[in-house]
Structure 1
Amino acid sequence: MGGGEVPKGFPQPNPTISYWQLPPHAIANHRTTPVLPTSTTFDYVIIGSGVSGAAVAYKLLSGNPSLSVLMLEARTAASGASGRNGGHCRAGWWLNFKEYATAFGEDEALKFEQLEEQNVQDIADFVREHKVNCDFQDVETADAYYTARGWAEVLEVIRYREEVRKRRQDVQSSIKRNVWHGQAAREHLGLPNVLGAVTYPAHTQNPYLLVCRMLELSLEKGLNLQTTTPALAVKPVPDEGTAKWEVHTHRGTVQGKRVILATNAYTNALHRGISETGFLTPSRSQVTAIRPRADLSNHPARYKSVGVNDRGSGDYFMMRAPGLKGEGDILYGGGRSISKTREMGVTDDSTVNAEIAAYLKHAAADVIGREAWGDHSVEIRDWSGITCYTPDTFPLVGEIPGEKGLWASVGMNGHGMAMAFRSAEALVSMMTTGDEPDWFPKSFRIGRAWTKPKVDLHPEQWL
């Protein structure tokens, strides 16, 4: 990464390589200009090249290609959490609907549900419109339950949502969900110990290739991307010129009329004011890729993605479909409960937690079923990524209070593929028109980090 030792809380220069990043994308080490453009005042400087930063750049330049936009990435392109997740793209937080309605009100819970569902649809539309080669698959996803208490709780959420929908005919879910009980669930999913499950349409993909394609399209529209150029400080420009903000890097200082923090788990290191609120908590998440030697080509979960919701581990998995590179590989993530600290506060993705890695491999076989799995498996790869959590599970989106021209879309709670694309659209609307979209949840507003709302939904429950 350059510039000597990495300051605490900033991205590590040599992270683990995720399953998705092999081989590296053509723009992995892209620098639009060999020299950092320190003499230009950009309309926008975006810090971070994950799904949030890539979506903001794409939406800005699609709306106005004449804009000058600079993006700084600390490491290689899309090397943060967006290129390291489990490959799921699904609207899975309907499970929290009752919690959200209680904490924020019914209207906000409905707004969030619509945002999440539309976000997933928007990504699908983006992939199809631009013919993105990212292994995008339409699948059935399942929320699977293993305890009587957990299953009873989700059935209560379903009952509550149905009661709300009957009263609110003007706001309906666009996704049909099917409920499977007992033996029917076990047969449908092929998971021997499941007590119940809820299934609905979703997608799987290579998230790294998706984000890199967003960046490529923005590069075609004039984006200046500078990889391996970590932002070390963001400061207001002292004089009254055109530039309002300057961003310091080890290669020099750049200036912009507006700066956007798309820095997720690394935001605390870059912005002291946000750090002092204590609202953002980074955490290390982990995934393993493993392949059973047994033939699972006819297994009922072959074309599904699954959330294992109430085993206390926050586990999830999917199988790579026929015809894809790595056909038959199982990507299994979660296991944070194995760690005494739940990996909270960790910003080092250059290594993995060995105990979690061992757990994930055994858990994959246990969930699929030892009889179906067989006696042996091939261990392919372990990797980690740094995710970012908020007390109420929603991101911080908007202009930072008292710092005109400094914007952020951060704190995606490990659920960026269902929130970040629409959050970017809302942010771009705010920056370019001054208006907050009607569909944007008020509970996403960034100012709440400073007002200390009395809402704590214990985000570790949803990991």
Structure 2
Amino acid sequence: MGGGEVPKGFPQPNPTISYWQLPEHALAHHRTTPSLPTSTTFDYVIIGSGVSGAAVAYKLLSQDPSLSVLMLEARTAASGASGRNGGHCRAGWWLHFKKYATAFGEDEALKFEQLEEQNVLDIANFVKEHDVNCDFQDVETVDAYYTEEGWAEALDVLQYRKEVSKRRPGAGRLIKRKVWHGHEAKEHLGLPHFVGAVSYPAHTQNPYLLVCKMLELGLARGLNLQTDTPALAVKPVAATNEGSAGWEVDTDRGSVQAKRVVLATNAYTNALHRGLAETGFLKPSRSQVTAIRPRTDLSEHPTQGKTVAPNDRGSGDYFLTRAPGLTGEGDIIYGGGRFISKTREMGITDDSTVNGDISTYLKRSVPEVFGRKTWGRESVEIRDWSGITCYTPDTFPLVGEFPGEKGLFGTFGMNGHGMAMAFRSAEALVTMMRTGKEPDWFPKSFRIGRAWSKPKADLHPEQAL
């Protein structure tokens, strides 16, 4: 960060190292040009090298390799939440369908459902098309319930969604679900405490390697990536002609100019846009994950080849088991536990440390979920890490052009669910920037302008990293 104290709200220079970031990727400290190109007016400057920024760059340059695109990353490549999440790629927000339909209408609820499910399918297609080496696995994911009350709410959502399909021909799902009741849920999962579950196809992966591959493809198409180069301010400049700069971005290595700027800065966006910060709409938070392994051999346990989200304890917990043949085979990646913190970790943008109480909770939760008899008496504690996510009152991201600020765009506020929203949101944003129009499938509820108006709904998201 150039030395000195990090300004409030900006990325910390020495974050915890996530499970996925070992070993460090070759792009970690990449600078396409040794010096920052301060004398060039770029078509686009993208701030942030996570899945949103990487996807925007890849999609822009895939459509038009003649574009000049500069990407600024405050730390190492893919070092934000995208490189430190739980390793899932799942369309898990079917749970919110009824809330979305009530708050925004069925059309918007269906658009979101399609975006989320298509996003997951698009990621899988991207991995296959480009033969991405990111430990990508097709798995079954399961939303599981401890209480009859929580299970009844899940069944109510499924029933409501079925009724929508009956009323609206063609409103079918891309990803099918299967319901498991009572004893069959316990048996299917091999976990003793659940009263019901819903399963459906999903994926696990090393998210850090996925995003780094997107960056590599962008670089092959002409992207200029400058890591360890924090953007400190974004400001408009007077354009003197059609092709001149409309924006300037200050860094600790100099200032760069561009016709358009894209903020792919997620939880750090408030630090760069005071007007958005003043709305209070975007709220950063620290999320946490642990990697732990039983000393007991669980290679034949039913959770092998599954990811599980226990949904009705208010904890936002989820876990996956590293599959046979992968580095770390048998490791359990377990995230959540934000409710342990009195502040729910809200307002924190420091991922250089972890919350000790949450670490203790996560490590204790794993044996409890599996059952002490199954888990055994001892665990191997591997690694704790944190990441900075951010939330909006209605759980939707902010995507598009900032109102009244021509040429300033953004895709951020992924509510801890970026692997199921960001890739498709990037597609929508690129369409807007290239054509000036929103795609028909784009949810209007994602528009950035809503941050300055009273939200239609406050759904209080509690999703984990």
**TM bracket, shorter-chain basis:** over 0.9
Q: Helix, strand or coil: the match of 2:406?
A: coil
Give the counterpart letter for 2:279 in structure 1.
Answer: T
Supply the distance in 2 between the matched residues of 1:264 and 1:20 (Cα, whole angstroms): 20
Supply the distance in 2 between the matched residues of 1:204 and 1:460 (Cα, whole angstroms): 21
Deviation at 1:311, TM superposition (A): 1.3
Q: How does 1:210-221 map to 2 (within 5 A)?
A: 210-221=210-221
Supply the distance in 2 between the matched residues of 1:123 and 1:48 (Cα, whole angstroms): 19
Counterpart position of 1:164: 164
The reply to whether residue 381 of structure 1 matches residue 383 of structure 2 is yes
Supply the distance in 1 between the matched residues of 2:41 and 2:54 (Cα, whole angstroms): 20
Counterpart position of 1:51: 51
Instruction: Show CA shifts across 1:158-208 (max 9, x none).
Output: 110000011112221011111001110000001110010000000000000
Instruction: Show CA shifts across 1:121-155 (max 9, x none).
Output: 00000000000000000000000000111111001
Deviation at 1:15, TM superposition (A): 0.0
Counterpart position of 1:362: 364
The reply to whether residue 2 of structure 1 matches residue 7 of structure 2 is no
Counterpart position of 1:417: 419
Counterpart position of 1:283: 285
The reply to whether residue 224 of structure 1 matches residue 228 of structure 2 is no
Counterpart position of 1:245: 247
The reply to whether residue 100 of structure 1 matches residue 100 of structure 2 is yes
Deviation at 1:420, TM superposition (A): 0.3
Q: How does 1:314-353 map to 2 (within 5 A)?
A: 314-353=316-355
| Maintained 8 Å contact 2:85/2:387 | yes
Deviation at 1:3, TM superposition (A): 4.3
Supply the distance in 2 between the matched residues of 1:349 and 1:20 (Cα, whole angstroms): 15
Supply the distance in 2 between the matched residues of 1:171 and 1:393 (Cα, whole angstroms): 22
Counterpart position of 1:79: 79
Give the counterpart letter for 2:283 in structure 1.
Answer: T
Give the counterpart letter for 2:358 in structure 1.
Answer: I
- Of residues 336-345 and 453-462 in structure 1, the stretch that sits farther from structure 2 once superposed is 453-462
Q: How does 1:6-21 map to 2 (within 5 A)?
A: 6-21=6-21
Supply the distance in 1 between the matched residues of 2:405 and 2:229 (Cα, whole angstroms): 24
Task: Structure 2: give runs of 5+ residues left out of the alignment.
Answer: none
Instruction: Show CA shifts across 1:262-304 (max 9, x none).
Output: 0000000110011011110000000000000000001000110
Give the counterpart letter for 2:45 in structure 1.
Answer: V
Supply the distance in 2 between the matched residues of 1:455 and 1:274 (Cα, whole angstroms): 18
Supply the distance in 2 between the matched residues of 1:272 and 1:453 (Cα, whole angstroms): 19
| Maintained 8 Å contact 1:3/1:250 | no
Q: Helix, strand or coil: the match of 1:404?
A: coil
Deviation at 1:460, TM superposition (A): 2.4
Supply the distance in 2 between the matched residues of 1:369 and 1:28 (Cα, whole angstroms): 40
Q: How does 1:402-413 map to 2 (within 5 A)?
A: 402-413=404-415
The reply to whether residue 308 of structure 1 matches residue 310 of structure 2 is yes
The 1:164–1:462 alpha-carbon spacing in structure 2 relative to 1, beyond 3 Å, is farther
Give the counterpart letter for 1:287 in structure 2.
Answer: V
Deviation at 1:240, TM superposition (A): 2.4
Give the counterpart letter for 2:285 in structure 1.
Answer: S
Supply the distance in 2 between the matched residues of 1:109 and 1:312 (Cα, whole angstroms): 23
Deviation at 1:238, TM superposition (A): 3.7
CA RMSD of aligned residues (A): 0.9
Instruction: Show CA shifts across 1:410-436 (max 9, x none).
Output: 100000000000100000000001110
Supply the distance in 1 between the matched residues of 2:14 and 2:146 (Cα, whole angstroms): 38
Counterpart position of 1:433: 435
The reply to whether residue 128 of structure 1 matches residue 128 of structure 2 is yes
Give the counterpart letter for 2:371 in structure 1.
Answer: G
| Maintained 8 Å contact 1:232/1:248 | yes
Give the counterpart letter for 1:284 in structure 2.
Answer: R
Counterpart position of 1:29: 29
Task: Structure 1: give runs of 5+ residues left out of the alignment.
Answer: none
Instruction: Show CA shifts across 1:361-396 (max 9, x none).
Output: 000111111111100010000000000100000000
Supply the distance in 2 between the matched residues of 1:396 and 1:18 (Cα, whole angstroms): 26
Instruction: Show CA shifts across 1:38-69 (max 9, x none).
Output: 00000000000000000000000000000000
Supply the distance in 2 between the matched residues of 1:189 and 1:296 (Cα, whole angstroms): 13
Paired residues, what number? Answer: 463
- Of residues 239-248 and 289-298 in structure 1, the stretch that sits farther from structure 2 once superposed is 239-248
Supply the distance in 2 between the matched residues of 1:348 and 1:324 (Cα, whole angstroms): 31
Counterpart position of 2:445: 443
Supply the distance in 1 between the matched residues of 2:463 and 2:432 (Cα, whole angstroms): 32
Counterpart position of 1:294: 296
Deviation at 1:2, TM superposition (A): 1.2
Supply the distance in 1 between the matched residues of 2:125 and 2:25 (Cα, whole angstroms): 22
Counterpart position of 1:116: 116
Give the counterpart letter for 1:337 in structure 2.
Answer: F
Counterpart position of 1:395: 397
Supply the distance in 2 between the matched residues of 1:322 and 1:454 (Cα, whole angstroms): 46
Supply the distance in 1 between the matched residues of 2:232 and 2:254 (Cα, whole angstroms): 10
Q: How does 1:57-72 map to 2 (within 5 A)?
A: 57-72=57-72
* TM-score normalised according to structure 2 size: 0.99
Supply the distance in 2 between the matched residues of 1:7 and 1:124 (Cα, whole angstroms): 38
Deviation at 1:462, TM superposition (A): 7.4
Deviation at 1:4, TM superposition (A): 2.2
Supply the distance in 1 between the matched residues of 2:216 and 2:348 (Cα, whole angstroms): 31
Give the counterpart letter for 1:388 in structure 2.
Answer: C
Supply the distance in 1 between the matched residues of 2:337 and 2:373 (Cα, whole angstroms): 22
Give the counterpart letter for 2:271 in structure 1.
Answer: A
Supply the distance in 1 between the matched residues of 2:437 and 2:238 (Cα, whole angstroms): 28
Give the counterpart letter for 1:155 in structure 2.
Answer: L
Supply the distance in 2 between the matched residues of 1:337 and 1:377 (Cα, whole angstroms): 24
| Maintained 8 Å contact 1:292/1:376 | yes
